[in-house]
Structure 1
Amino acid sequence: MELIFESDFSKKLDPGLWKVEMDSTPNSQVYTNAGKLIMDTEGGVTVWLDKKLEGDYEITYNRRVVLDSGRNDRLSDLNQFWAASDPTDIGMFHRSGKFESYDNMHLYYVGFGGNYNETTRFRKYYQGEKPVLGEYITEPYLLKANHDYQIKTIVRAGEVSFWVDDKLFFEYDDPSPLQAGYFGFRSTWSRHQISNLKIRKLID
Structure 2
Amino acid sequence: MLAALAALPMAARAPGRILYRDDFRHGLMQWRIEAAGDAKVAAREGVLDIDTPAGLTLWFLPTLDGPIAIDYEVRAVDAGGPHDAVSDVNAFWMATDANAPDGSVLATRRSGVFEDYDPLRTYYVGIGGNRNTTTRMRRYVGKAGERPLLPEHDRLARADMLEPNRWFRLRLIADGQRIAVVRDGATLFSMTDGAPYRRGHFGVRTTQSHIQIRNFSISRL
Tell me the percent identity.
Answer: 35
| Cα contact 2:129–2:163 (8 A) shared by 1 | no
Q: Which amino acid aligns with 2:116?
A: S
Instruction: Report whether the alignment pairs 1:186 with 2:170.
Output: no
Find the residue that maps to 1:106 and give its secondary structure: strand
Deviations 1:16-65 (A, max 9, x none): x2111111x23x21111221111100101111111111121111001010
Q: 1:3 aligns with which of 18, 37, 54?
A: 18
Taking the TM superposition and a 5 Å limit, the aligned residue runs for 1:1-204 are: 1-14=16-29, 17-23=30-36, 25-26=37-38, 28-89=39-100, 92-93=105-106, 94-113=109-128, 116-128=131-143, 129-133=146-150, 134-202=153-221
Shift in CA distance, 89/199, structure 1 to aligned 2, threshold 3 Å: closer
Which structure 1 residue ranges, 4+ long, deviate > 6 Å from structure 2?
A: none
TM-score (norm 2): 0.86
CA distance in 2, matches of 1:55, 1:77: 26
Task: Provide the secondary structure at the position in 2 that maps to 1:195.
Answer: strand
Contact between 1:117 and 1:143, CA under 8 Å: does it hold in 2?
no
Cα deviation, residue 127, structure 1: 3.2
**Structure having the larger proportion of residues in helix:** 2
Task: Give a deviation string over 1:145-199, Cα, whole Å, max 9, x none.
Answer: 0000111111112111001111211001001111210001110111011001011
Q: Number of aligned pairs?
A: 198
- Whichever residue aligns with residue 88 of structure 1, its letter is N
In the superposition, the TM-score normalised over structure 1's length comes to 0.93
CA distance in 1, matches of 2:57, 2:142: 21
Q: For structure 2, which runs of at least 5 residues remain unmatched after alignment?
A: 1-15
Q: Write out per-residue CA displacement over residues 81-127 of structure 1, whole angstroms, 9 at most, x where no aligned residue.
A: 00100110485231111111001111110010167241001111113
SS, match of residue 116 in structure 2: helix
**Distance (Å, rounded) in 1 between the aligned partners of 2:198 and 2:81:** 39
**Structure 1 unmatched ranges of 5 or more:** none
Which of the pair is proportionally richer in strand?
1
Structure 2 Cα separation of the partners of residues 147 and 55 of structure 1: 30
